Structures are given as structure tokens and as C-alpha cells.
Amino acid sequence: MQNIDRLLPILTGQPVIPVVAVDTADEGVNLARALAAGGLRAIEVTMRTPAALDAIAAIVADVPDAICGAGTILNPDHYKAAVKAGSKFIVSPGATVELLDTARDSEIPFLPGSATPSELLAMMQEGYEILKFFPAEQSGGLAYLKALAPVLQGLKFCPTGGVSPDNAKDYLALPNVICVGGSWVAPKALIKAGRWDEITALAANAAGMGA
């Protein structure tokens, strides 16, 4: 079973979940502050940099406005370490039996990725209702999700990968899309230059997309 009660409020609280990679804990804290100031409180810190776990712990400690999750969780060790660091939700590009077992034993909700109809049926059988759809654009994008909606009526998606200001609203308009994920609200160049106000402006624009 998926911990829907904990996951749903996070994913319905904002139309865009920032998917970020940071090189230091300080970057993570400044970024989380800047995004929350723009209205994007939930943030997915990906485990793609060695600083990810420190950044999650620092955000949890120093940015009470943020709801910090962990992304690019590829195995149970990642999952457990991210939970220990204080993550409030866990995101993976896919799902394995081991990850599902770990999620079952954890209070921290899991958003796994699934794309093909057979994968989706298997996830439904496991009691999952909300899934990441990754990489969204490369996997068939809007047309693919639209085709799934009448067939797999119980499922909702967070498409991520290739989602941008140009197509985010179209994804959000689909009946089976709950929110989208994207890195465009936290460009590396702005992070490195410490241009936090510009990140806040990008976040405010994204936060207004659900309306």
C-alpha cells in the first residue's frame, strides 16, 4: 500500500515539484529558502551529488517552510539514508521489489516511477495510486498520459523529465496529472551565481501554474 495520506497533501500543495541537485548543504538551504519564498515549499533533492544527504538534513533543520524530499532513490540503502536525513517523501525513477518492501516498512511515503501498462498494473496491484511518469517527454508525453487516463482510471501521475514552462500547463490540465516535476525552477547557473531572487521569481511563476 502507498502512504497516500502523507503523500497527497505534499503533491497537491503546489503544481510543480522542483527537482534539484546541489553541491553543498548551503546551496540546498539557500535554494530551499528561495523556492519556498516563491511558493514552492516541497522540493525533491536528488541523490545525484555527494552532498545530497547533508543538504536534506540541513534543509530539514534550517528551512521550516520547506517540505524536503529525496529523489533519484535507486535502492533500499538510498531510501533508508534519505529517511534518516529527514526526508518527508521519497521519489524514484522506477520501482523494484526491494524498494517496494522498504516503502512498506517506512512511514515516509514513496512516489515510484512507472510507465508501461504492465508496470502500471503491477503497481496498482501493490496498492499504488500516484506514480511518477519518467522520463515524461521521451516516454510519450502528453499524448501517452492522455491515452492512459480512460483505461487506468484510478491512477494519478507526476510527469517529470522534459517538463518545462512551455508544456507544464498542458500536463497539469490532464485529468490524471496531479502535479509535475521539473528542474527548470532551479537552474545550475543561478544556483552557482547565488541569484536566489531570480529563483524565487521562477518559483512564483511555477506556483501560479495550477490556477
Site for ligand 3PG in 89-108 (CB under 6 A): none
Q: What is the DSSP letter of 210?
A: G
Q: State yes or no: residue 181 binds ligand 3PG (CB under 6 A).
A: yes
Of 161, 168, 199, 200, which lies in the binding site for ligand 3PG, with binding defined by CB under 6 A?
A: 161
**Among this protein's residues, is 132 annotated catalytic?**
yes
Report the candidate in 97, 144, 159, 92 with the shortest Cα–Cα distance to residue 125: 97
Q: Among 134, 148, 159, 172, which residue interacts with ligand 3PG (rule: CB under 6 A)?
A: 134
Helix ranges (H only) for the chain are 4-12, 25-37, 52-62, 76-84, 97-104, 117-125, 141-148, 168-172, 188-193, 196-207
- The reply to whether 146 belongs to the active site is no
- 162 belongs to the binding site for ligand 3PG (CB under 6 A): yes
76 or 165: CB nearest ligand 3PG = 165
Minimum distance, C-beta of residue 54 to ligand 3PG, in the bound complex (Å): 19
Burial class (CB in 10 A: 0-12, 13-18, 19+), 38: buried
Q: Write down the number of H helices and E strands in the chain.
A: 10, 8
Half-sphere exposure of 55 (CA within 13 A, CB side): 28
Member of 183, 187, 204, 209 binding ligand 3PG (CB under 6 A): 183
Q: What angle do CA 101, 102, 106 make, to 5 degrees?
A: 120
Question: Which of residues 40, 55, 182, 190 is near ligand 3PG by CB under 6 A?
Answer: 182
Distance, CA of 3 to CA of 132 (rounded, Å): 15
Stretch that binds ligand 3PG, among 123-131, 156-164, 170-178, 191-199 (CB under 6 A): 156-164
* Least separation in angstroms between CB 106 and ligand 3PG: 21
Contact call for residue 112 and ligand 3PG (CB under 6 A): no
How many C-alpha atoms does 162 have within 13 Å on its Cβ side? 12
User: Active-site residue numbers?
Assistant: 44, 132
What residues make contact with ligand 3PG under the rule CB under 6 A? 19, 46, 71-72, 134, 160-163, 181-183
